[in-house]
Amino acid sequence: MLSGVSPYPGGVEDWKGCFIMAANIIDGKAVSAQVKAAVAAETAELAEKGIIPGLAVVIVGDDPASRVYVNNKKKACAAVGFHSEEYALPADTSEEQLLALVERLNQKPDINGILVQLPLQEQIDEHKVIAAISPEKDVDAFHAANVGKIMIGDFDFLPCTPSGCMDLIHSTGVEITGKNCVVIGRSNIVGKPMAMLLLHESGTVTICHSKTKNLKEICKTADILVVAIGKAKFVTGDMIKPGAVVIDVGMDRDENGKLCGDVDFESAKDVAGFITPVPGGVGPMTIATLMRNTLTAAKVQHNLK
C-alpha cells in the first residue's frame, strides 16, 4: 500500500475548550515519490533489456502555466530514466501541422507516449488531435478507445489525475468497497473517470454538478468525497461527513491571490478524517501517474504486459 498520510500537527480547541483532533493530511509529495521510485526501478530493469521508455510532449504557444507543466514533465522523465522529446510549436500552428506532427510521433519507435499539452489555440480542434494519437501511445487516456476501456474495466491507461487520486485514497488505508463516494464535477478529464474508478472498486458513487439539488446534504453522506469543480473554497466544513476522506482536485486562487483548492481547508480539516492539502496533495500525483502510464505504454508496445 502506498503510504503518504501524516497527522496534522496538534489539533484545535472548540469554543468550550474541548480538544478536537484535526484530520490526517494526505501527503501527495510522499505518495508521488513512491510512485516515481517504483517507475524508476522498473525502468532500470527494462534498460537492461535495451528498452528505454520514451515520452514526447507537444506544446503550442507560450502559455506560462503550460510551460511550467511541460518543464516539470521533462524533469520527471529525467528522474525516472526516460527518453523525452519536446516539440514547442508557435501559437499560430495550424491544425493540419499539429496533426501531421502527431502522426510522425505515432510512427516513431523510440516514442512510447505522446502528450499534447492542453488547452490548445482556438484554430485547433483538440478533439481531432486527441483522436489522432495512437491509443497505445495515449498516456493521458483521453482517446475514445481508452475511455471505453475504462468504462468496461479492461484498460491499460488511466487518466493521470483520477488515477493519482485513487493512489491517495489507497494511502489512507480506507477500504473503498461499500463506501458512499461522492464526486463533485463531471468533466471528461476528472469527474467522470473518477466516478468509474471508484465504481470499479465497489464504491457506491454519486456524481454531483452545477444542476444538483441538495448538494450539501448529498456531500454529508460521503465517506469519500472528491471535489473537482474549479471554484475556490466551495466545499466547507459543514458539508463534510465527520471522518470522511476528502480529495481536493482544485487549483484556484483565493481572495488574496493565494493558491488554494476547491475545499475550504481550514474549516474542512477539523471535520474530515483524511484530507489533501493544496498545494502538495493531488498536484504531484498527476505527473507521477504520467510516468507510470508511459512505462506501461513501453511494456505494452514491447509485448511485456
pLDDT band at 16 (very low <50, low <70, confident <90, very high): very low
- Cβ neighbours, 10 Å, residue 164: 28
pLDDT, tens digit, 9 for 90 and up, residues 256-304: 999 999 999 999 999 999 999 999 999 999 999 999 999 999 999 999 9
Enter the pTM of the model. Answer: 0.92
Quick check: is 121 catalytic?
Answer: no
- Cβ neighbours, 10 Å, residue 174: 16
pLDDT band at 156 (very low <50, low <70, confident <90, very high): very high
- Residues 229 and 184 sit within 8 Å (Cβ to Cβ): yes
Quick check: is 140 catalytic?
Answer: yes
> C-alpha grid cell for residue 215?
448538494
Q: Specify the pLDDT at position 65.
A: 85
- Residues 140 and 117 sit within 8 Å (Cβ to Cβ): no
- Residues 230 and 250 sit within 8 Å (Cβ to Cβ): yes
Domain boundaries for CATH 3.40.50.10860 within the chain:
50-157
Domain boundaries for CATH 3.40.50.720 within the chain:
159-284
What is the full DSSP assignment across 44-84? HHHHTTT---EEEEEEES--HHHHHHHHHHHHHHHHHT-EE
| Side-chain half-sphere exposure of 53, counting CA atoms within 13 A | 32
Spatial distance between the Cα atoms of 184 and 99, rounded to a whole number of angstroms: 34
Which candidate in 27, 137, 138, 140 is catalytic?
140
Pick the CATH number of 159-284 from 3.40.50.720, 3.30.70.2700, 3.40.50.970, 3.40.640.10: 3.40.50.720
pLDDT, tens digit, 9 for 90 and up, residues 49-76: 999 999 999 999 988 888 998 999 999 9
Which candidate in 73, 137, 192, 233 is catalytic?
73
In the predicted model, is pLDDT for residue 96 greater than 50? yes
As a whole number of angstroms, the longest Cα–Cα distance in the chain is: 68
pLDDT, tens digit, 9 for 90 and up, residues 181-226: 999 999 999 999 999 999 999 999 999 999 999 999 999 999 999 9
What is the average per-residue pLDDT within 18-38? 86
In the predicted model, is pLDDT for residue 8 greater than 70? no
pLDDT band at 19 (very low <50, low <70, confident <90, very high): very low
The 3 state secondary structure assigned to 166-223 is: HHHHHHCCCCCCCCEEEEECCCCCCHHHHHHHHHHCCCEEEEECCCCCCHHHHHCCCC
> Which residues lie across from 12 on neighbouring strands?
20
Spatial distance between the Cα atoms of 194 and 163, rounded to a whole number of angstroms: 8
Burial 39-50 (b: 16+ CB within 10 A, else e): beebbeebeeee
CA distances from 38 to 32, 41, 42, 69 (A): 10, 5, 6, 22
In the predicted model, is pLDDT for residue 9 greater than 50? no
CATH 3.40.50.300 holds for 50-157: no
Q: Specify the pLDDT at position 21.
A: 53
Average pLDDT value for the chain: 93
Which candidate in 117, 192, 264, 269 is catalytic?
117
- Residues 24 and 7 sit within 8 Å (Cβ to Cβ): yes
> Can you say whether the dihedral through the CA atoms of 173, 179, 185, 191 is positive or negative?
positive
Q: Specify the pLDDT at position 1.
A: 61
Q: 205-209: which pairs have CB atoms within 8 A and are 24 or more residues apart?
A: 205/181, 206/180, 206/181, 206/182, 207/183, 208/182, 208/183, 208/184, 209/184, 209/185
CA distances from 192 to 148, 161, 166, 206 (A): 12, 12, 14, 11
Alpha helices of 81-143 — where are they, by DSSP H?
95-107, 126-132
| Side-chain half-sphere exposure of 45, counting CA atoms within 13 A | 10
pLDDT, tens digit, 9 for 90 and up, residues 97-152: 999 999 999 999 999 999 999 999 999 999 999 999 999 999 999 999 999 999 99
